[in-house]
Amino acid sequence: MRPDTGATRAVVSRVVRATAGILLLGFAMAAGSGSAAEPRAAWMRNAGFGVMVHYLPEWIDAEREWTVEAWNAQVGGFDVEALARQAEGTGAGYVVLSIGQNSGFYLAPNPAYDRLTGIRPSKCSRRDLVAELARALERRGLRLLVYLTSGPPSNDPAAGKALGWEGDGRPNREFQRRWETVVAEWSRRWGRAVSGWWFDGCSRPNTMYRSPRPPNFASFAAAARAGNPATAVAFSPGLYYPVYPLSPHEDYTAGLIYDFEREFVNARRVSEGRVDGAQLHVLSFLGRTWGRGEPRFRADQVLAYTGKVREHGGAVTWDVPVQPDGTIAEPFLERLGPLGRTADDRP
């Protein structure tokens, strides 16, 4: 006979809660340690692939004279539910969304950026597109990562000057401190809704980020994790073959490549899906170039190239052009379709 008394159930309940508490505490301690040894990006191995979306004013309409009101109207027309449904339909495990790039216009509010630049009215959109897309994806079991430059918006010199940018090739230490403040503001705003950051343009790591004292790679990564200790971070040095991490504070390889016929993964350096401690990840564009043009690969090529990475336990992010309402055009959905049909085979 098995006794089933209220007292027994109470004891079991306390044990379960205590065990769960220990596990959660251990996770929090690991996530907050700042070491790349913790698998913040381990989930990418099962995700298999994701899609990247650049939603930038100069890419939407390069001839248009963009104003704050025009940008807010454009962001207001982005259909997050439609994009989330499309991403889910492809079988992708995550979406990467640009916060902004060179224009100085951004996809979410940031009081720290407004305060530091003094730009009025703000070029940060009133609508928080990042938060809204994160919620739409979460309801479908998908994650959101964000893209951001490591430098100031190059086409907005007033912002660069206010942020303390001294020019390319310099340490730019004051800029770095201010930029980390901007990044941390967004990170705290979004919290656990954002699973990762991909930082573009870290092309002079020895000059800007390998200092023994902050600002450096460690403080940059800490800013990105200010709102979520489990956030995965990647720093892109630009185009390199084979892919590799720049820093022990990096959780996955930025993995920027163009040519899939070259050796972009050094199999001898990969162990359990990791390269020198970082989760293996590759990023490339499916259009003619980033965010533009017709598909450059057939569906079977997309499947084969993705398979090259997945066989080593890695993940591939495919950049796809989007329409003004934020949705992916049919030719690109067709190219990604076979990837979703092999989802059960992910390592």
Task: Give tens-digit pLDDT for 136-177.
Answer: 999 999 999 999 999 999 999 999 999 999 999 999 999 999
The alpha carbon of 88 is separated from its chain's Cα centroid by a whole number of angstroms, namely 17
The answer to whether residue 40 sits within a structural domain is: no
Q: Is residue 101 part of a domain?
A: yes
pTM score, two decimals? 0.88
Kindly state whether residue 333 falls inside one of the protein's structural domains. Answer: yes
Checking DSSP bridges between strand 315-319 and strand 49-53, what pairing results, if any? parallel
Residue of 193, 234, 194 lying closest to 317 (CA atoms): 234
Cα 195–201–202 angle (5° rounding)?
85
The confidence score (pLDDT) of residue 33 equals 38
Q: Residue 19, Cβ neighbours under 10 Å: how many?
A: 10
DSSP class of residue 202? -
Region of 38 (left: φ > 0; alpha: ψ -120 to 50; beta: rest) is beta
DSSP state of 249: T
C-alpha torsion 213→218→220→221, nearest 10: -170
Distance (Å) of CA 171 to CA 154, 177, 250, 322, 331:
17, 11, 20, 36, 43
Query: Number of folded domains in the chain?
Result: 1
Q: Considering only CA atoms, which of 178, 114, 108 is closest in space to residue 150?
A: 178
Per-residue pLDDT of the chain (347 residues; tens, 9 = 90+): 333 334 333 333 333 333 333 333 333 333 333 444 458 999 999 999 999 999 999 999 989 999 999 999 999 999 999 999 999 999 999 999 999 999 999 999 999 999 999 999 999 999 999 999 999 999 999 999 999 999 999 999 999 999 999 999 999 999 999 999 999 999 999 999 999 999 999 999 999 999 999 999 999 999 999 999 999 999 999 998 999 999 999 999 999 999 999 999 998 899 999 999 999 999 999 999 999 999 999 999 999 999 999 999 999 999 999 999 999 999 999 999 999 865 544 44
* Residue that the structure tokens 């596990």 belong to: 23
Tell me, what CATH number does 70's domain have?
3.20.20.80
- Single out the residue of 125, 142, 26, 123 nearest to residue 83, CA to CA: 142
Residue 187 lies in a domain: yes
**Are the CB atoms for 109 and 125 separated by under 8 Å?**
yes
What's the confidence (pLDDT) of residue 340?
84
* Domain of residue 126, residue span: 48-345
In 10 A of CB 249, how many CB atoms?
Answer: 22
Residue 35, domain member (yes or no)? no
Q: Is 67 a domain residue?
A: yes
- Nearest to 68, CA basis, from 114, 131, 116: 114
Q: Give the sheet arrangement for strand 274-275, strand by strand.
A: 270-271, 274-275, 278-279
The amino acid at residue 163 is L
- Supply the pLDDT for residue 341: 66
Residue 1 belongs to some domain of the structure: no
> What is the phi-psi region of residue 191: left when phi exceeds 0, alpha when psi lies from -120 to 50, beta otherwise?
left
Peptide bond into 215 cis (omega under 30): yes
State whether the Cα torsion 326-327-331-332 is positive or negative.
positive
Residue 305 inside a domain? The answer is: yes
Q: Yes or no: say if 232 and 251 are a contact pair by the CB < 8 Å rule.
A: yes
- Interatomic CA distance for residues 92 and 137, integer angstroms: 11
